[in-house]
């Protein structure tokens, strides 16, 4: 595999989360192979990924000893009741008992959100408020990312809302509707605003393939909620302090704007683009692992035993679209290579990356789609948290620093 970009010892140790001494212990025991030259030791990134996955399985609890949620990555600080998303043992994601896949295929994003919030429709901001939001976005300049524009637009729409600090829980729904309809409109060029998906499609530059609006609509539904992701926890913590809907979403976006969460599809876009440009899948994967240092982008989701159903739904819909053959061939080639070497399956980020490439959107479009759809979930969780005792999510710290002198 000498043609692949290789990991240094430091990069490999960081990827595995171990000290260099532990890394070389793995080598001495024959668990990892290395090559040595004048520059030092180097490692095959795909072999490292396969080893990392084996280590995770080896340290997982024995079957039958814990509930399904124990498969989630990370160490939970608490367990919170949630009435929104649930993943069945058959890997079916459900929103309040209804199949998210069926909702995505059969209903619009607006219809699903109106059902979740029990409202007849979603009312957006005034044209004057949108003008303020667009001017605020324009002031950022061209170097701002698409997610930067979303965050500043939330602030602008909050600043023009005279009822932003009204403590009544019903205001959360009003603010949520204002953001879900207003943010795509603020990001889009002036023109007729139709559905949220249609407006966001225009905002992200996908108008050349209008048939893709239906997939975007489905994606918005599928990303509404997914257990207690770090951004959702941030939203609930803010709601616990009785933050406004704008502050809840701002807090959530702060945790969302991270390569291990909301922006992961960006690296997946670069990896797939490498294959489309002629790189062997193994080379594109290895480069992505080396450059990101956080595993294979677009693969793996600990909440599923057999694979991320959100990716399955979106990729199936994309296969029905015209001129999607090349992008899907790249997806399949990468997925086959990963399955052969690391035994992990595509997740939502890979599907968003495929949609981004097919529609010729900017590489951070997937993060914006993800964020807009997830706002519906953050507001729903805030509503639930408003029903709880205020400040219940304020943990106590345990001092472990140096003793007083």
Tell me the pLDDT tens digit for each residue of 347-375: 999 999 999 999 999 999 999 999 999 99
Residue 129 has pLDDT above 90, yes or no: yes
Residue 299 has pLDDT above 60, yes or no: yes
Picking from 329, 303, 344, the residue whose alpha carbon sits closest to that of residue 82 is 303
Please state the pTM of the whole predicted model: 0.84
pLDDT in tens, 273-297: 999 999 999 999 999 988 877 789 9
Q: Is 394 exposed, middle or buried (0-12, 13-18, 19+ CB in 10 A)?
A: exposed
Per-residue pLDDT band for 67 (boundaries 50, 70, 90) equals very low
Q: Please provide the size of the chain in residues.
A: 405
Annotated domain spans of the chain: 85-260+364-386
Kindly state the helix (H) or strand (E) to which residue 95 belongs, with its residue range: strand 93-95
Range 111-140 average pLDDT: 96
Q: Cα dihedral angle (176, 181, 187, 192), rounded to 10 degrees?
A: -170
* Helices first, then strands: H and E counts in the chain: 18, 6
The reported pLDDT for the residue numbered 100 is: 97
The reported pLDDT for the residue numbered 58 is: 59
> Which residues does residue 37 pair with via DSSP β-bridges, in sequence order?
40
Q: CA 140, CA 112: separation in Å to the nearest integer?
A: 33
Q: Cα dihedral angle (4, 5, 10, 13), rounded to 10 degrees?
A: -40
H helices within 44-95, ranges in order?
Answer: 45-58
pLDDT in tens, 170-193: 999 999 999 999 999 999 987 666
Per the CATH hierarchy, to which homologous superfamily does domain 85-260+364-386 belong?
Citrate Synthase, domain 1 (1.10.580.10)
Q: Return phi, psi of residue 42, to 5°.
A: -140, 160
Mean pLDDT score across all residues of the chain? 90
Which tokens is 94 given?
């459900």
The reported pLDDT for the residue numbered 259 is: 92
The reported pLDDT for the residue numbered 68 is: 40
Q: Is 334 exposed, middle or buried (0-12, 13-18, 19+ CB in 10 A)?
A: buried
Residue 65 has pLDDT above 60, yes or no: no
Residue 306 has pLDDT above 90, yes or no: no
């Amino acid at each position: 595999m000498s043609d692949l970009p290789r990991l240094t010892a430091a990069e490999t140790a960081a990827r595995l989360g171990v000290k260099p001494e532990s890394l070389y212990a793995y080598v001495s025991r024959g668990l990892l192979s290395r090559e040595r030259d004048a520059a030092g030791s180097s490692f095959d990134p795909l072999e490292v990924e396969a080893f990392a996955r084996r280590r995770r399985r080896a340290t997982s609890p024995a079957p039958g000893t814990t509930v399904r949620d124990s498969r989630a990555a990370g160490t939970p600080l608490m367990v919170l009741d949630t009435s929104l998303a649930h993943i069945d043992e058959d890997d079916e994601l459900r929103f309040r008992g209804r199949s998210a896949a069926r909702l995505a295929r059969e209903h619009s994003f607006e219809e699903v959100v109106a059902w979740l919030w029990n409202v007849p429709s979603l009312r957006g901001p005034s044209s004057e408020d949108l003008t303020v939001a667009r001017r605020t976005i324009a002031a950022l300049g061209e170097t701002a990312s698409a997610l930067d524009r979303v965050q500043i637009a939330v602030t602008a729409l909050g600043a023009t809302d005279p009822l932003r600090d009204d403590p009544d829980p019903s205001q959360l729904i009003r603010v949520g509707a204002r953001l879900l309809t207003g943010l795509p409109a603020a990001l889009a060029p002036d023109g007729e605003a139709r559905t949220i998906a249609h407006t966001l499609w225009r905002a992200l530059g996908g108008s050349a393939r209008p048939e893709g609006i239906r997939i975007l609509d489905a994606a918005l539904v599928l990303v509404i909620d997914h257990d207690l992701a770090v951004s959702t926890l941030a939203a609930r913590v803010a709601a616990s302090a009785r933050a406004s809907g704008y502050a809840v979403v701002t807090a959530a976006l702060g945790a969302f704007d991270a390569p291990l969460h909301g922006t992961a599809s960006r690296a997946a876009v670069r990896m797939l683009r490498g294959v489309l440009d002629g790189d062997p899948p193994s080379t594109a994967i290895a480069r992505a692992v080396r450059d990101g240092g956080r595993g294979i982008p677009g693969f793996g989701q600990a909440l599923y035993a057999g694979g991320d159903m959100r990716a399955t739904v979106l990729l199936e819909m994309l296969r029905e679209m015209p001129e999607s053959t090349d992008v899907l061939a790249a997806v399949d080639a990468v997925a086959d290579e990963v399955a052969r070497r690391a035994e992990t399956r595509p997740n939502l980020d890979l599907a968003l990356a495929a949609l981004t490439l097919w529609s010729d959107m900017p590489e951070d479009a997937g993060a914006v789609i993800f964020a807009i759809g997830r706002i519906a979930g953050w507001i729903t969780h805030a509503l639930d948290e408003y029903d709880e005792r205020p400040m219940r999510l304020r943990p106590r710290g345990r001092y472990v620093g140096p003793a007083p002198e």
